[in-house]
Amino acid sequence: MAEVKFFGSADMPLEMHKVKIIQKLNLRPIDDRLAAISEAGNNTFLLKNRDVFLDMLTDSGSNAMSDRQLAAMMVADDSYAGSETYYRLEAKLQEIFGMKYFLPAHQGRACEHLLAQSLINKPNMIVPMNYHFTTAKAHISRFGAEVAEIIIDEGLAVKSDNPFKGNMNLQKLRDLINARKDDIPFVRVESGTNLVGGQPVSMANFRDITNICRESGVISVLDASLLADNLYFIKARDEAYKNVPILTIMREIGSLFDIIYFSARKLGCARGGGICLHREDLMERIRELVPLFEGFLTYGGMSVREMEALTVGLDETLDMDMISQAPQFIKHMVDELSAMNIPVVTPAGGLGCHLNAREILSHVPQEKYPAGALAAALYIVSGIRGMERGTLSEQRNKDGTEPMAHMELVRLALPRRVFTLSQVKFAIDRINWLYQNRHLIGGLHFTEEPKILRFFFGKLAPDSDWQLKLAEKFKTDFGESL
Ligand code: F0G
């Protein structure tokens, strides 16, 4: 996105791409939306897309592809083994991360499975990380290990002006390694901490963490799924990197970590995933599992067309116009909502705008899932599908008790190059109305609670008829408007 100043209005993001293919959207009447959310058990994952107006659930697999990516799909080399497509992707990854080996996998969580299964090799292990991601934690716990979240304190403060809230607390890392070095299969760093507002990690922190790991012989792993946003923040917020080319930054990151894995549903705007490594011994340990769980080594469960699109998508990640688009839209949304005194996570991070449901619905106790309730309410009043990122997204403890999340957030993802500014303005307008009427929103309770990753399929019901009352108020204020 270009650095363009406006003459007649305040600064705002300016798209450096044009629309070539469109998909028609539906905004259904509020009574239909009420019925749809009820049928979905108040879980936005269970809504049908035909009932959704702006799908801000996630940026996973829903980023807009470029003309170059679509064109590349046509030259994919269909082959089970030895596909030219694979070698083009491998070469691109070697170029950007400077790592020798690449193992393909069908998506990010598949990489998490392969890493957990090959590296967690005895009971009671512990994986230090800045912050967990749902699937990463689920795979680590499946193999009997626990996670230790050692993000800096400010990472868990909803409001802050720390530009790198995703940083790891280095002293806590040193202490953990000193106390339990032999129980640590790897240290995991998530660039662009998903669950705490898409907050970036600084280059200095990447360097310090990996130095500590190297000195103590512990494997360092980077989850680079949200690296595109993190790269933008390193350039935009760290003076030392302002004029450093993105490729140089990526290669520096690649030189620091032993292993980098990613979801290509996010990084590279395609659908797939993979693990990049320097060390042959580690590669060999993990490689054994690829044909078993993913597919042959030259596709790993990905479609070759997606692999071609990914190769081009990774190349486009080196373009500031590309990686700045989502963070600048998110910043616009965060700035506008903050100006209306609506509680959001600050500073603006990557991935999406995060509403602070804990504060917006301070009258709804955490046991009644305020973030889930706010996500359902927002869908009812706008047709916008966001995602609960709070207690519902946690898993129960082994003893059945329910841990309360550090934050109760509603994430409104802005998939890259998908929405226009007027659509973002519509979202801001409806969030503002909902905020003014927040006292009408009540809590939720489970009616069906799955054991694993309950937020995906769980069903909930409202505690009272608050949703009907909210819809009535909407009709009073907006009349016939959708
Ligand atoms: N790591 C991070 C940081 C992620 O955000 C995700 C996915 C994964 C790993 C897993 O990758 O979906 O390809 O298996 N995040 C999606 C989201 C699901 O909506 O935030 P995957």
Q: How far is the CA of 289 from the centre of ligand 1 (A)?
A: 21
pLDDT at 1 over 60: no
Q: Is the model's pLDDT at 434 over the cut of 70?
A: yes
Q: Is the pLDDT confidence value at 222 over 90?
A: yes
Position 10 confidence tier, pLDDT thresholds 50, 70, 90: confident
Cβ neighbours of 442 (radius 10 Å): 20
pLDDT tens-place string over residues 178-197: 999 999 999 999 999 999 99
Q: What residue owns the CA closest to ligand 1's atom 5?
A: 194
Active-site residue, 31 included: no
Q: What's at 191, amino acid-wise?
A: S
pLDDT at residue 338 tops 90:
yes
Average pLDDT over residues 206-224: 98
Catalytic residue among 78, 80, 100, 475: 80
The Å distance, Cα 178 to ligand 1 centre, comes to: 31
51 is catalytic: no
Of all protein residues, the one whose alpha carbon is nearest to atom 16 of ligand 1 is 60
Whether pLDDT at 398 is above 60: yes
Q: Is the pLDDT of residue 2 over 70?
A: no
Strand partners, 356: 409
CA distances 206 to 43, 226, 252, Å, are 36, 14, 10
Task: Report the pLDDT value the prediction gives residue 268, as an integer from 0 to 100.
Answer: 97
What does the block give as tokens for 270?
Answer: 């395609």
Distance between Cα 437 and ligand 1 center (Å): 33
Q: What is the pLDDT of residue 215?
A: 98
Ligand 1 centre and the CA of 421: distance in Å?
A: 25
The number of C-alpha atoms within 13 Å of 386 and in the hemisphere containing its C-beta is: 31
CA distance 196 to 393: 12
Cβ atoms of 474 and 55 within 8 Å: the answer is: no
Tell me how far apart the alpha carbons of residues 129 and 294 are, in angstroms, rounded to a whole number: 26
Burial class (CB in 10 A: 0-12, 13-18, 19+), 367: exposed
Mean pLDDT of 329-348: 97
Domains of the chain with bracketed CATH: 30-59+322-478 (3.90.1150.10), 67-318 (3.40.640.10)
Pocket residues for ligand 1 (CB within 6 Å)?
A: 58, 60, 107-109, 133, 135-136, 190, 194, 223, 225-226, 263, 265, 273
Confidence of residue 5 (pLDDT cuts 50, 70, 90): confident
Give the residue, by CA position, lying nearest to ligand 1 atom 2: 225
Residue to mutate, 58, 194, 310, ligand 1, most ligand atoms under 8 Å from C-beta: 194
- The mean pLDDT of 354-365, rounded to a whole number, is 98
| Residue 351 Cα: closest atom of ligand 1 | 20
CA 137 to ligand 1 centroid distance, Å: 12
φ, ψ of residue 197 in degrees (nearest 5):
100, 20
134 catalytic? Reply is yes
Return mean pLDDT, the chain. 96
Q: What does each C-alpha distance from 390 to 172, 255, 298, 435 come to in angstroms?
A: 24, 34, 38, 19
Of 140, 201, 225, the residue with max ligand 1 atoms within 8 A of its CB, to mutate for a pocket test, comes to 225
Minimal-distance CA residue to ligand 1 atom 9: 108
pLDDT at 220: 98
* Residue 223 annotated among the catalytic residues of the structure: yes
Q: What is the total residue count of the chain?
A: 482
* Range of weakest confidence among 1-15, 290-304, 311-325, 455-469: 1-15
Mean pLDDT of 134-141: 95
pLDDT tier for residue 8 given thresholds of 50, 70 and 90: confident
pLDDT at 395: 87
> Which atom from ligand 1 is nearest to the alpha carbon of 271?
13
User: What's the CA gap between 392 and 402, in Å, rounded?
Assistant: 9
For residue range 74-126, list pLDDT tens digits in order. 999 999 999 999 999 999 999 999 999 999 999 999 999 999 999 999 999 99
Contacts 24+ apart (CB under 8 A), 95-99: 95/247, 96/247, 96/250, 96/251, 96/254, 96/314, 96/317, 96/318, 97/250, 97/251, 97/253, 97/254, 97/260, 97/276, 98/251, 98/254, 98/255, 99/254, 99/260, 99/276, 99/277, 99/278
Tell how far the Cα of 9 is from the centroid of ligand 1, in angstroms: 37
Residue with token string 């694993």: 452
**Residues 144-166: tens digit of each pLDDT:** 999 999 999 999 999 999 999 99
